[in-house]
Amino acid sequence: MEPTGSLAQGSEMRIPSPSPSPPPTAPAPGPTTDRRSVRTLPLKLPAVLLLLLWSIVPLAMTLWFSFQRYNLLNPTEHGWVGFENYHFLVTDPGLAKSIGNTLLIVGWVLVITVSLGTLLAVLFDQDFFGRGVARVLMIAPFFVMPTVSALIWKNMLMHPANGVISFLLMSVGLEPIDWFSQAPLASIIVIVAWQWLPFAALILLTAIQALDPERKEAARMDGAGPFSMFFFIIIPHLARAISVVVMIETLFLLAVFAEIFVTTAGGPGLASTNLAFLIYRYALLEYDIGAASAGGVVAIILANVVAAFLVRAIAKNIEA
Amino acid sequence: MNKALRRKIIITAAAWAVALLIFFPIFWMFLTGFKTEVEAIAIPPSLFFTPTLENYVAVRERADYFKFFWNSIYVSVGSTVLALVIAVPCSYAMAFFVGKRTKDTLVWMLSTKALPAVGVLVPIYLIFRDVGLLDVTFGLMIVYTLVNLPIVVWMLFSFFKEVPREVLEAGRMDGAQPKDELYHLLLPLSLPGIASTSLLAIILSWNEAFWSLNLTAANAAPLTAFIASFSSPEGLFWAKLSAASTMAIAPILVFGWMSQRQLVRGLTFGAVK
């Protein structure tokens, strides 16, 4: 066991907690701990076993199905086809398009949420009247279920004739936009960014508040203005929190589904189909288990590339 | 002094403007829920109107709303309780009886979150179809338990770590068995941590909208899936959609606001506290 003191060094973003952290000389693992640790396996076994099953069995089945000809509409025709499903997938124009859309959604939402989230975090770190209430309002979108936020935006805000945005555009003399047919992917990006902006802001705010006030004071003494303060003190301090936000959001954003499901259903054409929606279409609309599984394998590979970085970053932080 | 006050007023105005802008869609939905359907689509949008409760009445009567509401509660609370029951012993063992593999186990649990749901949609769907769990609330509950298990284990682990070891040591000296130690010392001491872990798990399950859309239909649909049925409606529906949505998100908004700080820890796996 590492000394508990590493808790304080390892996470510089930690906010000061009311209870003092345990003294660096935590009790060494005495003989009692060692002797009794023999019996901890039954305690851990249920969780480990369930997660092992959950992560391995479906994965193996997806891999297996991806090499099978298997359509639920024609279940008798069933057998090993090698790489035929992957060949079908690669020659389907849907794959390249949907991977492109997936990356566009991830990329744009990250740019919007991280940049605006940083500004919001700096703003809400200031002292102002009613800060608690304003913060509560600001983070609210994160707790709205995706189907609700997508339908509210689609109907009441982005509707070409009766939406609030159209009304605002018309009242300044502009043409209203039919968001979901003229710019379907951009519309979905707006909705998803609205949902994730509070997440980024909240986490970056927590990180900023852990910044040592003395460091800010010292910089101010040395004559740092608001801009040099932002770029030379706050941004470097936030670097790690930003990377955590980027990685966690990426894992979720790769799998955006409900927002597409209730607004555009992937259309018009393939304009707003991402990888998750493409696989759903193969599986539950066309009942093509083989193709859907091959798509699933692609999605898993994509997510694991991201996760490798995430796990490495977070693993540094554990003092087990 | 005067300059400081002016600065504070400017910042107040800016921050509140931003907060209200971000909150506007939710506010607008809340407002629309109390309009008539005709007022709901009016252009210019009506700000002053006589509020009506007719949408709340209509939603309740028409769509069997409370069945879906109950499904949401059953699935999210049930999966949270199950996850806690499985995770508490595991986190306890990992926090207090550290072995060579503890860290690897934790990291591995985290990495299972990287398996995208859509990658395993096909096998889960087929297994559920074959064992009769499609459109059954218990099936969805199992899925949510497994999906949230890594987060719950992680959060509990990090809260258990903060319990002063001296207290447990003292209990041990007094002859407490590991079981007593867990039930009579650790759980009461880390109750706030367990509470915020539960809140996060409930929030995540309540809002989950991939498995609920794909594994349920008329019977076991929770609110996420019920609301999705408004995506292809007939006639005027904005006011009813708003009323249904307001009821669907209200409890979770309250939970979310209650647990903002612990949420950061849970959602970042302790990387930002």
pLDDT per position as a tens digit, B10-56: 999 999 999 999 999 999 999 999 988 888 888 788 778 888 888 88
Please tell me which of A68-72, A267-271, B70-74, B107-111 the model is most confident about, judged by mean pLDDT.
Answer: B70-74
pLDDT digits (tens, 9 = 90+) for B3-16: 889 989 999 999 99
**DSSP SS3 for B246:** helix
Integer Cα distance of B41 and A164 in angstroms: 10
What is the DSSP secondary structure assignment for residue B229, as one 8-state letter? G
Residue A318 has pLDDT above 70, yes or no: no
Q: Give the residue with greater pLDDT, B154 vs A27.
A: B154
Query: How high is the pLDDT of residue B186?
Result: 85
Integer Cα distance of B271 and B28 in angstroms: 35
Going along chain A from its start, the domains and CATH numbers come out as: 6-46 (no CATH), 78-315 (1.10.3720.10)
Q: Which residues of A148-167 are buried (b: 16+ CB within 10 A; e: fewer)?
A: bbbbbbbbbbbbbebbbbbb
Q: List the single range of A6-10, A15-19, B59-63 with lowest mean pLDDT.
A: A6-10
What is the DSSP secondary structure assignment for residue A27, as one 8-state letter? P
Residues in A touching B263 (Cβ below 8 Å):
202
Cα dihedral sign, B266-A138-A160-A102: negative
Residues in A touching B165 (Cβ below 8 Å):
22, 26-27
Integer Cα distance of A164 and A176 in angstroms: 10
**DSSP SS3 for A99:** helix
Tokens 């908004």 correspond to B253
Residue A15 has pLDDT above 70, yes or no: no
Structure tokens at B20: 């209200």
Please tell me which of A3-12, A54-63, A213-222, B162-171 the model is most confident about, judged by mean pLDDT.
Answer: A54-63
Query: How high is the pLDDT of residue A246?
Result: 87
Structure tokens at A191: 């909705």
Structure tokens at A230: 């932002």
Let me know: does A105 contact A250? Beta carbons within 8 Å: no
* A49: number of Cβ within 10 Å: 11
pLDDT digits (tens, 9 = 90+) for B153-172: 988 998 888 888 888 888 87
Q: Measure CB to CB from residue B121 to each of A146, A157, A279 and give the nearest one.
A: A279
pLDDT digits (tens, 9 = 90+) for A98-145: 999 999 999 999 999 999 999 999 999 988 999 989 999 999 999 999
- Distances from the Cα of A5 to the Cα of A9, A165, B189, angstroms: 7, 53, 21
Mean pLDDT within A58-78: 84
Residue A221 touches chain B, beta carbons under 8 Å: no
What are φ and ψ of residue B64, in 5° steps?
Answer: 55, 45
Residue A139 touches chain B, beta carbons under 8 Å: yes
Structure tokens at A59: 């994965």
Let me know: does A169 contact B255? Beta carbons within 8 Å: no
Mutate to test the interface with B, among A145, A157, A261, A285 (most CBs of B within 10 A): A145
Q: Measure CB to CB from residue B252 to each of A130, A143, A275 and give the nearest one.
A: A143
Which ipTM value was assigned to this complex?
Answer: 0.88
* A242: number of Cβ within 10 Å: 18
Mean pLDDT within A183-207: 93
Integer Cα distance of A249 and A110 in angstroms: 7
Residue A10 has pLDDT above 50, yes or no: no
Find the residue in B nearest to A159 (Cα).
B41
Closest CA–CA distance from residue B157 to any residue of chain A (Å): 9
pLDDT digits (tens, 9 = 90+) for A38-63: 477 888 889 999 999 998 999 999 88
Residue A33 has pLDDT above 70, yes or no: no
> Side chain identity at A147, as an amino acid letter?
T
CB contacts < 8 A (A, B): 336
Q: Nearest CA to B245 among B13, B12, B37, B28?
A: B28
Query: How high is the pLDDT of residue A11?
Result: 37
> Side chain identity at B83, as an amino acid letter?
A
**Helix, strand, coil share of chain A (percent; to 5):** 70, 0, 25
Query: Per-residue confidence at B127, pLDDT binned at 50, 70, 90?
Result: very high
Q: What is the mean pLDDT of chain A?
A: 82
Chain A residues 91-110 with a CB less than 8 Å from chain B: none
Closest CA–CA distance from residue B26 to any residue of chain A (Å): 8
Query: How high is the pLDDT of residue A13?
Result: 38
Q: Give the residue with greater pLDDT, A85 vs A152.
A: A152
Integer Cα distance of A276 and A295 in angstroms: 9
Residue A37 has pLDDT above 70, yes or no: no
Beta carbons of B107 and A304 less than 8 Å apart: no
Q: Give the residue with greater pLDDT, B262 vs A135.
A: A135
Mean pLDDT within B102-109: 85
Q: Nearest CA to B227 among A305, A153, A20?
A: A153
Query: Which residues is A78 bridged to in the sheet?
Result: A70
Integer Cα distance of A98 and A91 in angstroms: 13
Query: How high is the pLDDT of residue A29?
Result: 45
Residue A4 has pLDDT above 70, yes or no: no
Domain residue ranges of chain B, discontinuous segments joined by +: 62-267
Residues in B touching A247 (Cβ below 8 Å):
none
Residue B77 CB contacts under 8 Å (≥ 6 apart), including other chains: B202
Residue B104 CB contacts under 8 Å (≥ 6 apart), including other chains: none
Structure tokens at B236: 């005027």
Mutate to test the interface with A, among B7, B22, B142 (most CBs of A within 10 A): B22
Mutate to test the interface with A, among B115, B210, B212 (most CBs of A within 10 A): B115
Query: How high is the pLDDT of residue B30?
Result: 93
Residue B202 has pLDDT above 70, yes or no: yes
**DSSP SS3 for A80:** strand
**DSSP SS3 for A98:** helix
* CATH number corresponding to B62-267: 1.10.3720.10
Residue B85 has pLDDT above 90, yes or no: yes
Q: Give the residue with greater pLDDT, B72 vs A288.
A: B72
> Side chain identity at A195, as an amino acid letter?
Q
- Distances from the Cα of A284 to the Cα of A87, A156, B122, B215, angstroms: 20, 30, 9, 11
Residues in B touching A198 (Cβ below 8 Å):
22
Residue A11 touches chain B, beta carbons under 8 Å: yes
Query: Per-residue confidence at A319, pLDDT binned at 50, 70, 90?
Result: low
pLDDT digits (tens, 9 = 90+) for A279-312: 998 888 888 888 889 999 998 988 888 777 777 7
Mutate to test the interface with B, among A39, A61, A119, A152 (most CBs of B within 10 A): A152
Structure tokens at A265: 């259903």
Integer Cα distance of A158 and A264 in angstroms: 13
Mean pLDDT within B168-187: 80
Percent of chain B at pLDDT > 90 equals 36
Closest CA–CA distance from residue A150 to any residue of chain B (Å): 9
Residue B42 CB contacts under 8 Å (≥ 6 apart), including other chains: A162
Closest CA–CA distance from residue A57 to any residue of chain B (Å): 9
Beta carbons of A126 and B15 less than 8 Å apart: yes
Q: Nearest CA to B113 among A259, A49, A250?
A: A250
Mean pLDDT within A205-226: 84
Let me know: does A303 contact B114? Beta carbons within 8 Å: yes
Beta carbons of B110 and A314 less than 8 Å apart: yes
Query: How high is the pLDDT of residue A211?
Result: 82
Beta carbons of A261 and B228 less than 8 Å apart: yes
Q: Measure CB to CB from residue B122 to each of A137, A145, A289 and give the nearest one.
A: A289
Query: How high is the pLDDT of residue A8?
Result: 36
Residue A27 has pLDDT above 50, yes or no: no
* B52: number of Cβ within 10 Å: 15
Q: What is the 3-state secondary structure (H, E, C) of A130-165?
A: CHHHHHHHHHHHHHCCHHHHHHHHHHHHCCCCCCHH
Query: How high is the pLDDT of residue B258?
Result: 82
Structure tokens at B5: 């006050």
Residues in A touching B44 (Cβ below 8 Å):
167, 171
Residue B200 CB contacts under 8 Å (≥ 6 apart), including other chains: B151, B155, B259, B262, B263, B266, B267
Q: Measure CB to CB from residue B227 to each of A43, A57, A151 and give the nearest one.
A: A151
What are φ and ψ of residue A71, in 5° steps?
Answer: -125, 130
Residues in A touching B178 (Cβ below 8 Å):
36, 39
